[in-house]
Amino acid sequence: MNQIKSLVMFYNSQREKAAAYAGELEKLLIGKVILKKICVFAEHEKLQPADAALAVGGDGTVLHAARNAVSAGIPVLGINAGSLGFLSGITREDFISALPDFLSGKFVQTERMLLCASVRRKGNTVFGPFPALNDCIIRCADTRAFGLKAMRGGRLITKYFGDGLIIATPSGSTAYSLASSGPIAVPEQDLFILTPICPHALTQRPVILSTDKMLSVELLGTKSGSHRYSVSLDGQVVFPLRNGDIVEISEHTQKLKLIVPESYDYFAALRAKLRWGER
């Protein structure tokens, strides 16, 4: 990385600890860099170029920062001020001690793929395309099992009947997809993971697919009644669906640049945060 001269800081004002950490970091950075501070709940304009973005909070703050920073080509460093903080590259305490190294450009960048989702209704695009770092989730708010038809490159994958479907990226493989018995994927890979949510078929299991062809998922709904369906991106952007709507998912044209310390180890993070491999 190059020397850091300008920063954008995303923070969660509704989390007392995160807001306090953001204020503390702001004081440390005054006079060292050009800093713009953004609350994730506030309306803000399209980001102007900056050397890096800090996401101070939990994984939700990193997800918000990622979707906003990717179009501007701004690399993101997650500073954990939440509970799990799996997407964060460093803790608040370690960042303060490593601040001189960060500003001098001694951290490194990794790339993460994002998915891009849109909704077609009767041939027209009514939502998107919007990026997501973790996942795209189709489900019913009325806790009713319903039908979906998944296609890849125009060919049928399968029909699902259950509580919904998760289309996850490798970054999202350790989120809702993992809780639904999906596999863990190394984050530098480019792939989609299709994980059914409580399917009504014991033979339906998660599927890993390359990203070279578009996925389309049609909402078949139920035979009786009108229910509330939705598609959500990273659990933060939600759009209501109707029977017959088609959700189209492809790989985003841009990669997210994620900043981590030189010592960062993904498998060490798995072991520490998820107790992976423990007996």
Catalytic residue list: 59
- The backbone torsions φ and ψ at residue 144, rounded to the nearest 5 degrees and listed phi first, read -115, 140
| Class of residue 42 by CB neighbours under 10 A (exposed 0-12, middle 13-18, buried 19+) | exposed
User: If we measure between CA atoms, which residue out of 63, 51, 42 comes closest to residue 112?
Assistant: 63
Compute the distance between CA of residue 4 and CA of residue 53 in angstroms, rounded to an integer: 10
Contact between residue 233 and residue 130 where contact means Cβ atoms under 8 Å apart: yes
Q: How far is CA 135 from CA 31, 117, 159, in A?
A: 38, 10, 20
Compute the distance between CA of residue 219 and CA of residue 230 in angstroms, rounded to an integer: 10
Query: What torsion, rounded to 10 degrees, do the Cα atoms 40, 42, 46, 50 define?
Result: -50
DSSP state of 129: E
- Tokens 């954008």: give the residue: 8
State the Rg of the chain over Cα. 20
Compute the distance between CA of residue 56 and CA of residue 78 in angstroms, rounded to an integer: 6
